[in-house]
């Protein structure tokens, strides 16, 4: 189905011929360095120390983490966001470039550090976070190459709630220009937020094809106690589809003409770390839509990607390629995986 038809909106431009390539995608928003260690049972008192099995540093955040996953799935990804002028920025750029992401859209802001998070990962995969917001909120409208945004097949805006004045000062216009040019627009958020944040993001969500929060975020943003009503609130703003991740509970997906929200179960895996599972889901959902899949099939691809991310440490774990993800999905949903494989082979 791809982009949801709304009025006279143009279709998603076709991707490059051959190999099922997803084509050019822009990932705009939060670019964060995660430093993760596991397993952490407790923080030792005083100057005590413990030995860990693994420590990693990854490019993360709802833009950077999803960008890396999309690149693994076959997209040509341009990253747009604000970094500091520091060593952490060098590490974020290097980590993304290793996966083939074009980092030329990342701008450095002097006198401020790059956004970063320390994550002590518990043995069950849970992850308390120690975070510095850093440069992320300093992205400005003049930092965004709108020509390249309009030339993309999809625009992912990750963490508009963390982008400071830009969220209410031009970001919706960038998204609207992308949609007018035929791009699929997908929104994800970083924080749980409040209803005031939903009001601030209303203009952006009004031009979005898809909104992909987790359940905690959606309920906090809408002030609702149940997900179907919260989903309806977002769609009333003008958003086409809403895909809500539920952790081990799977996801809920709703789209125009699709009836009541569809519940999909999680795919069982041995969980190492849940960091970046939502970003993996968003990447898979977006990849499926760009392949031309129906929303339920695209959501299954998202579930497969999110589940695979949980099998390793950090937001760049688990996913190797589109073919590998489809093979994994095929063990649980062979018919869906077969249809997605056929679409990817066109």
Give the model confidence (pLDDT) of 121-142 as tens digits.
Answer: 998 888 889 999 999 999 999 9
The predicted-structure confidence for 189-213, as pLDDT tens digits, reads as follows 998 889 999 999 999 999 999 999 9
Question: How far apart (Å, rounded) are the C-alpha atoms in residues 74 and 303?
Answer: 17
The average pLDDT across 214-220 equals 97
Write out the two tokens for 276: 């970046």
- pLDDT tens per residue, range 321-332: 999 999 999 999
- Above 80 in pLDDT, residue 237? yes
Instruction: Give the per-residue pLDDT at 127.
Output: 84
- Number of residues in the chain: 346
Give the pLDDT band of residue 2 (cuts 50, 70, 90).
very low
Query: Is the pLDDT confidence value at 219 over 60?
Result: yes
Long-range pairs, 336-341, Cβ under 8 A, ≥24: 336/297, 336/300, 337/300, 339/293, 339/297, 340/288, 340/291, 340/293, 340/297, 340/300, 340/301
Q: In the beta sheet, which residues pair with residue 23?
A: 75
Containing 264, the helix (H) or strand (E) segment is strand 262-264
Specify the pLDDT at position 307.
96
Percent of the chain with pLDDT over 70: 94
Is residue 5's pLDDT more than 50? no
Cβ neighbours of residue 149 closer than 8 Å, sequence gap 6 or more: 26, 28, 80, 155, 174, 177, 178, 183
205: helix, coil or strand? Answer: helix
Q: Identify the H or E element spanning 232.
A: helix 227-236
pLDDT band at residue 78 under the 50/70/90 scheme: very high
* Cα 283 from Cα 108, distance rounded (Å): 25
Higher per-residue confidence, 112 vs 21: 112
**pLDDT band of 7, cuts 50, 70, 90:** very low
Mean pLDDT of the chain: 92
Closest CA to 303 of 337, 261, 341, 346: 337
């Amino acid at each position: 189905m791809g982009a949801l038809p709304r009025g006279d909106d143009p279709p998603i431009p076709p991707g490059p011929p051959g190999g099922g390539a997803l084509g050019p995608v822009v990932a705009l928003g939060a670019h964060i360095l995660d430093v993760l260690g596991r397993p952490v049972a407790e923080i030792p008192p005083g100057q005590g120390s413990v030995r860990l099995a693994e420590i990693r540093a990854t490019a993360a955040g709802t833009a950077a983490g999803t960008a890396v996953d999309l690149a693994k799935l076959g997209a040509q990804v341009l990253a747009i966001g604000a970094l500091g002028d520091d060593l952490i920025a060098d590490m974020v750029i290097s980590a993304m470039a290793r996966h083939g992401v074009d980092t030329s859209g990342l701008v450095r802001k002097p006198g401020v550090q790059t956004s970063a998070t320390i994550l002590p990962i518990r043995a069950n995969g849970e992850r308390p976070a120690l975070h510095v917001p850093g440069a992320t909120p300093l992205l400005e409208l003049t930092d965004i190459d709108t020509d390249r945004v309009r030339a993309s097949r999809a625009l992912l805006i990750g963490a508009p709630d963390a982008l400071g004045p830009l969220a209410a000062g031009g970001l919706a216009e960038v998204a609207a220009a992308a949609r007018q040019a035929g791009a699929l627009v997908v929104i994800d958020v970083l924080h749980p937020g409040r209803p005031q944040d939903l009001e601030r993001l209303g203009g952006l969500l009004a031009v979005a094809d898809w909104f992909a929060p987790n359940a905690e975020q959606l309920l906090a943003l809408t002030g609702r106690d149940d997900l179907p009503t919260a989903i309806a609130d977002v769609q009333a703003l003008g958003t086409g589809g809403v895909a809500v991740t539920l952790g081990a509970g799977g996801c809920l997906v709703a789209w125009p003409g699709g009836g009541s929200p569809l519940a999909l179960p999680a795919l069982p895996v041995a969980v190492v770390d849940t960091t970046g599972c939502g970003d993996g889901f968003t990447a898979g959902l977006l990849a499926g839509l760009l392949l031309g899949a129906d929303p339920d099939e695209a959501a299954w691809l998202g579930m497969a990607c999110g589940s695979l991310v949980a099998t390793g440490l950090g937001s760049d774990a688990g996913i190797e390629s589109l073919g590998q993800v489809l093979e994994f999905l095929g063990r649980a949903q062979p018919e869906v995986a077969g249809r997605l494989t056929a679409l990817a082979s066109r």
